Amino acid sequence: MKSLCVYCGSASGSDPVFLEMARRLGSELADRKIRLIYGGASIGLMGEVANAVLAAGGEVTGVLPRNLFRREVPHHGLTELIEVDSMHERKARMATLADGFIALPGGLGTLEELFEILTWAQLGMHNKPCGVLNVSAYYDLLQQFLDQCVVQGFIRSQHREMLLLADDPADLLEQFANYQSPSVEKWIDLKGS
């Protein structure tokens, strides 16, 4: 694995442990010589994970839409900053550049990015690992909700298992290293059986 995309908040969150975990993930990526691909901002968890990778001698590629330059404050110390025209282009570019995807805590944008890339995996558009770093049980209720979706018949268990989970960066990266995409011939049963 040469590069990983990290989705996370442009805010820091209410608990200092969120910033600490962003730093730990960044250090772990740099130690493993994995390039960080992320949203390009210098603020919040986004800025913290990028700073940690850079401080440990790693490489960081940011992808930032031009219209967000005032809101998300571009990081000017990156290895590479790619400017794009839209959020759609940002997500597509990050997906192309990355060998896997991790979500740290974040808000609606983080969740939207995570679910889009997970849906692309379900549809067979990529076979890269997707996971969440469950800092201070941040994603516990999401995990319960996804389990309920399986019980209610809206998500297949094979697709549910595609979202990896760990509360430690090294553990999550080990899961990524051993990940095998599920082999599901069809994801929708058109006959209803």
User: What pLDDT digit, counting tens, does each position of 132-163 carry?
Assistant: 999 999 999 999 999 999 999 999 999 999 99
| Mean pLDDT, range 38-55, rounded to an integer | 97
Compute φ and ψ for 89, nearest 5 degrees: -65, -35
Whole-number Å distance between alpha carbons of 30 and 79? 13
| Mean pLDDT, range 19-37, rounded to an integer | 98
Find all residues with CB under 8 Å of 40, minimum gap 6, and list them: 46, 62, 63, 64, 72, 74, 75, 78, 81, 82
Helix or strand or coil: residue 101?
A: strand
| Mean pLDDT, range 66-93, rounded to an integer | 89
Compute φ and ψ for 17, nearest 5 degrees: -65, -25
| Mean pLDDT, range 170-178, rounded to an integer | 97
The domains of the chain, with CATH numbers, are 3-177 (3.40.50.450)
